[in-house]
Structure 1
Amino acid sequence: MVGPLNRKPQPSGATRRTAVGLILGAPLLGACSSVQQSFGQFSNPFSSPQPEAGPAGPQQQPLAVGTGQVKVGVILPLSAAGNAGVAAQSMKNAAEMALAEFQNPNIQLLIKDDGGSPQGASQATQQALGEGAEIILGPLFAQSVPAVAQQTRAKGVSVIAFSTDSSVAGRGVYLLSFLPESDVNRIVDYSAGIGKKSFAALLPDNAYGNVVEAAFKQAAARKGRIVAFEKYGADRSAAVRTVSQSLGQADALFMADDGDSVVAAADALTAAGVNLRNIQLLGTGLWDNPRVFGSPALQGGLYAAPDPSGFRSFAGRYRTKYGGEPVRTATLAYDAVALVAALSRTQGAQRFAAETLTNPSGFAGIDGLFRFRSDGTNERGLAVMKVGQGGSTPVAGSPKSFGA
């Protein structure tokens, strides 16, 4: 087990979070009475706009931050157009914030712009490795991960990427992202624990739905049985009709889609004559959306997501430092930098070895516990949230340790 970090003093009222494996995120502050709901929104990782690189490729100048001896490559689409570039800048800020908040870190960040393209990611990785990077943080997009891995595996260097597509994980490539599989396992396990073991499911027929389907079928078979399962495309009427006919045999209905789509599915079920108050509704982190909170049909629904208090504290510090709001994925960059800084301090020559990164005790970051599996995917300790008017409240907190 890796010991806790030494952190800079925090504002009064801060409390120290429980140590598991390694403490990364700054201590949580007292709960805020009002937080913009947009802080907690998780977008569908499989339907995000594709990055658009400029015609000349990456434009950002190379940047080194910090003076430590351990060099860490950070690869982000800083010059990509639209939301990709905005997210990259926010994640860069968070990475630098982690370095500033960690007490005397012995790392130097080699920040590289990949322009949002696999070619740019390959070039950025080559540059970082040439400058002595011992580990690579990034890239953000799934299509760029194999290009990075091709460079790093030849050098025996590990990668901690931010993609949500678990198919790009693998030997030496670990994903520090919010994977749908963790959401599914947490919500199915919780619902079984409160006696809901006969499941119906209504899922989108897309890449996200396919990933969720595989995880749900495994989890439901482990905890109970599936009495109805349907997927829908642009027209969900047939799937809704089929599922509605079987809900009398189910005590939980699992719907995993983004805010607009899950509200539309719930409204379609209601229009088909289903009283959704007679069944426990279940969802994933995509439910963390104002549209869901405002839907009368989804009130009382349960979904799995990181405990929002960690992000509230992080966002407050980010606003103070940068004068703006962080993107939701900014915590990934913060935790990645905090992790490598801590491992550099405590683990010596084995700091980025596979057995170090896959410590089964895991690590405690901004969004709670996480640990890397040997296949490169991750497991997160998630809270269970209950949908209410105007927001959500936790009905089960994040675990303090990973079970056996």
Structure 2
Amino acid sequence: MFAVLSPLRKVLRPAAGVATALLLAACDPTGMPGLGGSPADSGGPKIDPKKPIQVALLVPVSDAQAGAVAKSLEQAARLAVQELSGAEIILKTYDTAGAPSTAAAQAQRAVDEGAKIILGPLRADAVNEAGRAVADEGVNVLGFSNNPSIAGGNVFILGPTFNNTANRLMKHARSQGKKSVVIVYSDDVPGQFGRSAIELAASANGIRVVSAEGYTLTVEGVTATAKAAAAAVRSGEADSIFITTDATNAAMPMLLNQLPSNGIAPNQVQYVGLTRFDVRPDLFSLPGATGVWFALPDQAQQEGFNARFSAAYGATPHPLAGIAYDGISAIGALAKQGRGDALTGKALTRSTGFSGTGGVFRLKADGTNERALSVATIKDNQMVILDSAPKAFSGAGF
């Protein structure tokens, strides 16, 4: 979920739209400071909800590597505008060219031209700079990144986070009687973020972390870590093993073969994945894939959005497109209530949340988000839903 590409991945990783989407969304310098403060207190311009609301969409239209993503995001946002009832939004697109400095300039330009809230940009560094540029204007930014390190002040992130996924899976694990876990993570930026998310989720759900075993993105590194993780499971009597590795990464099939071959088969320990396995059906038959748990959005909601998008544009939406739709939906839902404070941090973080393309979601006081997720597994080479995504924030999955 972060833009770090090793030689192993460059050579061996199969193409996958979801992985590409998340890499583009993240591209995240980990040391980047957030804007600080609580978004719930971040203010925001007062509006007349009876009048059209001007929303600025910041996307990298002219970025050769992200232009296709930008197009799909804009199409999804415009579809959301068309489907709104009880509120009117004027959406204007600004090209960031994929550059943080341009994103900052375009954010300021958008506000100068009347924008009351900003949707985007795509990458975390651009989101951060856009937020800084308009912080003194009292304008909030709903960025497409999934990196929680940039959230805060007037910046909210809409991308699905490791923390949200890890917590959903750890809650499910606890409900199934699991008490201890070994973490296997790639020793790079995304792996370290994933490890941290799992450790926090384990602590919050009363699950003991027996060991965290990192690997370098080489064949030798993965092999050595598979052996160390298996030994840690046995010595610490762990009942589950949580893998941060992206399912599209070439390390994943190696782990799903080597962990069982080192004496920890799925019928002995519960395998859990931080990323979606359904994007790699070719993994389903591997020894470690049977019975693995992973999380994903409400599929009925997702398929409904995909169908409407395809009907409108004659194409399949990019995996990130729904995030732009969700941002417009949230703004529209608040304006529909006739709220003059619809674009303030207090309104945006309402506890009941919003209906999104993958189920319900809400923006949190720290600028991150919480999304409803289902827990799925692999059985007889097919994906099976074990625990459906909650339909509201009072549901059992939260």
TM-score range, shorter chain: 0.7 to 0.9
Task: Compare 225-234 and 178-187 and name the one that shifted more.
Answer: 225-234
Residue 386 (structure 1) shift: 0.9
Instruction: Report the CA distance shift for 1:50/1:255 in structure 2 as closer, same or farther (over 3 A).
Output: closer
- Is 1:45 the counterpart of 2:28? The answer is no
SS in 2 for 1:299: coil
Between the aligned partners of 2:97 and 2:285, the Cα distance in structure 1 is 37
Residue 400 (structure 1) shift: 2.6
TM-score (norm 1): 0.81
SS in 1 for 2:129: helix
Summarize deviations over 1:243-277 as a string: whole Å, max 9, x none: 11132311111112112322221112133343233
Summarize deviations over 1:86-129 as a string: whole Å, max 9, x none: 11101111111111111253210011111111122112112211
Q: Please tell me whether the aligned partners of residues 116 and 139 of structure 2 are also in contact (alpha carbons under 8 angstroms).
A: yes
The correspondence for 1:214, drawn from 186, 191, 196, is 196
Q: Please tell me whether the aligned partners of residues 42 and 288 of structure 1 are also in contact (alpha carbons under 8 angstroms).
A: no
Instruction: Report the CA distance shift for 1:149/1:69 in structure 2 as closer, same or farther (over 3 A).
Output: same
Summarize deviations over 1:69-98 as a string: whole Å, max 9, x none: 21001101111113x111110111111111
Q: Please tell me whether the aligned partners of residues 271 and 288 of structure 2 are also in contact (alpha carbons under 8 angstroms).
A: no
Between the aligned partners of 1:269 and 1:364, the Cα distance in structure 2 is 39
Instruction: Report the CA distance shift for 1:390/1:310 in structure 2 as closer, same or farther (over 3 A).
Output: farther
Q: Please tell me whether the aligned partners of residues 194 and 274 of structure 2 are also in contact (alpha carbons under 8 angstroms).
A: no
In structure 2, the partner of 1:382 is 373
In structure 1, the partner of 2:210 is 227
Letter matched to residue 271 of structure 1: S
Q: Please tell me whether the aligned partners of residues 26 and 123 of structure 2 are also in contact (alpha carbons under 8 angstroms).
A: no
In structure 1, the partner of 2:125 is 143
Q: Please tell me whether the aligned partners of residues 307 and 397 of structure 1 are also in contact (alpha carbons under 8 angstroms).
A: yes
Task: Compare 137-146 and 103-112 and name the one that shifted more.
Answer: 103-112
Q: Please tell me whether the aligned partners of residues 81 and 88 of structure 2 are also in contact (alpha carbons under 8 angstroms).
A: no
Letter matched to residue 257 of structure 1: T
SS in 2 for 1:174: strand
Between the aligned partners of 2:283 and 2:168, the Cα distance in structure 1 is 19
Q: Please tell me whether the aligned partners of residues 180 and 209 of structure 2 are also in contact (alpha carbons under 8 angstroms).
A: yes
The correspondence for 2:252, drawn from 255, 262, 273, is 262
Letter matched to residue 267 of structure 1: N
Between the aligned partners of 1:71 and 1:48, the Cα distance in structure 2 is 24
Letter matched to residue 321 of structure 1: A
- How do residues 297-316 of structure 1 correspond to structure 2 at under 5 angstroms? 297-316=288-307
The correspondence for 1:86, drawn from 68, 84, 95, is 68
Instruction: Report the CA distance shift for 1:49/1:156 in structure 2 as closer, same or farther (over 3 A).
Output: closer
Q: Please tell me whether the aligned partners of residues 151 and 366 of structure 2 are also in contact (alpha carbons under 8 angstroms).
A: yes
SS in 2 for 1:147: helix
Between the aligned partners of 2:254 and 2:117, the Cα distance in structure 1 is 44
Between the aligned partners of 1:50 and 1:197, the Cα distance in structure 2 is 34
In structure 2, the partner of 1:15 is none
Instruction: Report the CA distance shift for 1:180/1:292 in structure 2 as closer, same or farther (over 3 A).
Output: farther
Letter matched to residue 144 of structure 2: F
Between the aligned partners of 1:48 and 1:123, the Cα distance in structure 2 is 20
In structure 2, the partner of 1:243 is 229
Instruction: Report the CA distance shift for 1:272/1:313 in structure 2 as closer, same or farther (over 3 A).
Output: same
Between the aligned partners of 2:103 and 2:134, the Cα distance in structure 1 is 12
SS in 2 for 1:216: helix
Q: Please tell me whether the aligned partners of residues 43 and 286 of structure 1 are also in contact (alpha carbons under 8 angstroms).
A: no
Between the aligned partners of 2:178 and 2:388, the Cα distance in structure 1 is 19
SS in 2 for 1:349: coil
Residue 164 (structure 1) shift: 1.2
Q: Please tell me whether the aligned partners of residues 284 and 305 of structure 1 are also in contact (alpha carbons under 8 angstroms).
A: no
Q: Please tell me whether the aligned partners of residues 200 and 254 of structure 1 are also in contact (alpha carbons under 8 angstroms).
A: yes
Residue 221 (structure 1) shift: 2.6
Instruction: Report the CA distance shift for 1:107/1:39 in structure 2 as closer, same or farther (over 3 A).
Output: farther
Letter matched to residue 330 of structure 1: A
In structure 2, the partner of 1:341 is 332
In structure 2, the partner of 1:372 is 363
Residue 150 (structure 1) shift: 1.6
In structure 2, the partner of 1:361 is 352
Q: Please tell me whether the aligned partners of residues 44 and 208 of structure 1 are also in contact (alpha carbons under 8 angstroms).
A: no
Count how many residue pairs are aligned between Structure 1 and Structure 2. 351
SS in 2 for 1:124: helix
The correspondence for 1:252, drawn from 240, 243, 247, is 240
In structure 1, the partner of 2:286 is 295
Unaligned runs of 5+ in 2: 1-14, 29-49
Between the aligned partners of 1:238 and 1:352, the Cα distance in structure 2 is 51
Q: Please tell me whether the aligned partners of residues 185 and 216 of structure 1 are also in contact (alpha carbons under 8 angstroms).
A: yes
Summarize deviations over 1:285-330 as a string: whole Å, max 9, x none: 3433224334343021011121222111111111111111111111
Letter matched to residue 280 of structure 1: Q
TM-score (norm 2): 0.83
Residue 50 (structure 1) shift: 6.2
In structure 1, the partner of 2:85 is 103
The correspondence for 2:308, drawn from 312, 317, 322, is 317
Q: Percent identity?
A: 29
- Is 1:123 the counterpart of 2:109? The answer is no
Residue 390 (structure 1) shift: 5.2
SS in 2 for 1:203: strand
Residue 189 (structure 1) shift: 0.9
